[in-house]
Structure 1
Amino acid sequence: MKTLIGFSLIETKQQEGSYAMHPVVQDWCLHIAATENNANLMQLNELALISVGSMVPNSNDRNYLGLQRRLLPHANYVLRGEKGDLWGENIAVWGAFIRLGNLYFDMGKLKEAQEMYQRALAGYEKALGPDHTSTLGTVNNLGELYKDQGKLKEAQEMYQRALAGYEKALGPDHTSTLRTVNNLGTLYSDQGKLKEAQEMCQRALAGYEKALGRDHKATLHTVNNLSNLYKDQGKLKEAQEMYQRALAGYEKALGPDHTSTLDTVHNLGNLYSDQGKLKEAQEMYQRALAGYEKALGPDHTSTLRTVNNLGALYSDQGKLKEAQEMYQRAVAGYEKALGPDHTSTLCIVNNLGTLYSGQGKLKEAQEMYQRVLAGYEKALGRDHKATLRTVNNLGNLYIDQGKPKDAQEMYQRALAGREKALGPDHTSTLRTVNDLGNLYKDQGKLKEAREMYQRALAGHEKALGRDHKATLRTVNNLGNLYKDQGKLMEAQEMYQRALAGYEKALGPDHPSTLRTVNDLRHLYEDQGKPERKRYQEMCQRALSPDHTSTLGTVNDVGNLHKLKLKRPRRTTGEHWQAGRSR
């Protein structure tokens, strides 16, 4: 570099930590390269490709997105118009393709990432064979890409091929084998196959503990994943125990400010939020946010992910102004880092739409959802799970706007898409079934509503168990339906089951518990039963200004006579809770 600078062929850009070449010099270099014979030109092209690939940063680097944005045009340039068969047999080229695939993946350019991985796979298969570990590593990467694209069947095929290959080449207990076992577990979780997911995660955990010990970071990473799974299953106590084990292990092995430690702190915040422990959740998020800002900077995606979740927490606490500020900061950060059409950006825009909907800003909410829907359809396709989540949210919004016909179209599209992509018994599918039940109930189609609720209830009980909060939400909805039908005894049974379940799973002060308390209060008032006084006292306690759940439960209510807690019949929209470290 000193020689090139000495001859003024390049110049140093001190502030940016980079070098620049004058366009005339660049044209001259290209001219010289073009006059070389084909063999020399191929070597120069390979050298350029390998050089760019070697500079792709790790996602844990402080300014990795800034580095990636600078590398992207170089990657595009060295790959311009070239086909895979024009590259030589240099193994380093295929490694460069892998790293460039990672670059495109992180920047949300999934089509280009797939092309890179497929080139690498073809090269490795030809040079090293289909069962070489480098080949299998690329197969595993393709599985991760297909998973993000919503191509769950193709992802499963890749993971299973990689797993079979690793087991044959390295044995069932090798760490590379276990990594793929863990990935299969996360895929099964996305497919709603929670039993199979648990088996994979437990196998990976047992293998890592044996091979690396209880406190190795790979072991702790799997502990963290198992915690995520328990959270999805509604096993909140077991999830908390796993997160706390992971946190203690990371703090001991890596220190309190390491990004892996902060990831687990963040995940604990998610769990506490789900448990209705909003104060504890806020403490976790604020610790994670401070740590990420110090370690990675204010614009890193891990930082922005926590900003998003703080926004969701503030929304649950009724601090709508603070929530909006968090979401807007997150959106601005993602737009700057990844662009306005990146899927991560669109996820936060979706959350902002959900907030606007909850504030009654229905026009602004519709604009957000429609932007998200158009972006997802372009980036991921009409049938991707993220696209369908937004379709479902639009259905909820149309209900609030008094457009039941439009809402029904959205729900039916979401239902058909989710049944095709995820199956009829997936929890996302059942959520739409539940929302359709709400719609039919509002339309007075009580028979159809009951069919939807009963289907949702049976599916949730099978997939998640009788006491999961999603199951209990449908139980409560059935209570509402029976009450409207005048079946007060059946309604009472449903409400009491929901209340007992919520109290056990979430505690007596959780907003979901208190909503069911309120429904029971109304039922007993209609029946003239003395039990109404007990539930009235519980509602009054919920309105106490120093009660922890007041803001989250009754943020728009001034006194008991105006108390109309929302029934848990649907959320304003499906919220994206960012940041479960996998």
Structure 2
Amino acid sequence: MGIVMPLRAAALLGAVMGMRRCGYPWPLRRSAVEELHTRYLPEDADPGAGDDALTRELESLAEAWEWLTAPRARMPRLFLTADTVTGMDPEPPRGYTDQVPDAEFQMLLGCSSREEALHIARTQLADGALRQAESAYRRVRRLRGRARRDERRAGFAPQRERLQDRARQRARTLGPEAPETLAAREELAALLWEHRRESAVPEYRAVWQGRLRTLGPDHPDTLAARQSLALTLRALARPEEAGAEIGEVLRDRRRVQGADHPDTLKAWELACRVDEDLMRRGARDRGTGPGTMPDREPDRLPDLESGLLSLVVASCRVLGPDHPDTLARRWDLGRMPRWRGAEAESAFELAPVVETAERVLGAGHRQVRRYHREWTAGLRDVAARHPEHRAAVADLVQALVRRLDGALGEDHPHTLAMRTELLRALRWDPARQEAGLTGAMESHRRALEAADPPGVTPDAGPEAAPDTDEAETMVRRLEAYRAAASETVRALTEAGRLPGREPGDQERLDLLFVAAWTLSDMGIHDEAVLGLRAIVRGYLLRHGERDPDTWRVWQALVVTLVRAGGRENLEGAAAELGDLVSAQTRALGADHSETLRVRSRMAATWASLGLLEEAEAEYREVLAALRRVAGPEAQETLDVEQHLAEVIGFIEEEAEREETQP
């Protein structure tokens, strides 16, 4: 009779083995093992229901550790200290070195320290588990960021207390409305803006009202405090209140400082942004959007356009047309025609703003990249709705790609994204799209090679200091790898000629497979399936259904659909396997080992979908064929026998449940 392991001891052992599979180094933290072991306890384990035949009583934690640390023949033995769990004798069986499922991995990773997460990241990266490596590196970065945030928060409280004490002390000695007291409260409001924005509102309001009484309504400091109050209210999504405040500020600044003063222009810009917030709120309340004027406040758009135009003219006169503030205002003005359905007018008006922003701020500037994304999305709408502008749209995007090639490089992620936009813009011109696709391929290949993360040898143990720079570098590199793969799939699937029989198509199919399989490894299943379906079509057209390479990419598609999970994807995998089995049967015969292996996988997919009778019938046919071809003692025959037994067991359990139901 075998040894029966107590429930809590089994759960502790499961946690230990799971942590080792995840990549935790020896020794394990005892506290982490004890925290995780509750996830491995059976749901029916209840220490208060020992009389129930289906329930076994839970032993105490001390008893479980005592059981696991006692020597027993053919049983794992752990070595325990006050803080750690060390060694396992014998080592876990080979099956425990397989890659841990992602859900369990995330659960186990969630209990890791920064040092442990770094070791896990290196281990998973060395094993080629890119998604799990990225998750672990992100945890390293997140834990470091949390530590810094805790440090900032720990510093915020005493800093706030210091500023509050200073303001109270000055109020006692100098008076509550003395300039020094109000300056201290303004400094406190600025601190609260960073950490407790809602709390900044009463402070800014008190500063403004105090200066209003002591300095008068026209003093620049009074106006600045009220403008800060309006800015805070807008940031808190309270545009009606913000509009009331900034309207008065703008009127007073124009009267006191003049219409062309830089501070007046800042207040004017804030007033326009608040007006746009109110217009957007009206559109959102009515369920409308750009291109449809909201009935609520119908005069707001013409007034907003007129105000922005005047602001841009003044900004060009005062600051110059190339000043970053002027460019931001020109951008806001250029977006307005889209609200009345004039997409083409808006897109073409924004073109010189984009080029000037690239020259002034640089093509890699965050604001410029945002301009690029919004602008090309608008150009895409223009090309789709206005055929007469398609050639002009393609020329604009092509010129943008040439500028980015020179400024950022051909393999920069932002350049690749704009290359994809170019292929979308050229879809109406197949000849130019073909040339654009040929030019893009080498850039995508170089980007994938440059971003491909190297394997890392895991460190010797948790005593190694966590390298936050390594975590930051690897997260960025994995992000670049995923972005390059994603853009490659988008770009190559945009080509209307893929798949095809042209000489260059095989090279494109190979590059697309590398990118799609990379996305599959990184857990981006939807895009991976999109690319792999295109590859399967290409191979079927180019090589036919009898080619082994066609079967290889077909099975890669099936694996990705299974990884994606969900009934729809599993049904898609079963359909693809059915087509693959038919093709291999015609090419190899029904009893060929490759055909039988795919049929076994199809039966497993049916079982996952709950089609147990279909799975049983398929397993029986495969088993009979394997006994004839490979012999009853072959490993593949024994594996299918085991799978068949499991399916039969599920069917019997289901029948028993149906019989016991009233």
Q: TM class, shorter-chain normalised?
A: 0.3 to 0.5
Normalising by structure 2, we get a TM-score of 0.32
Larger Rg computed on CA atoms: 2
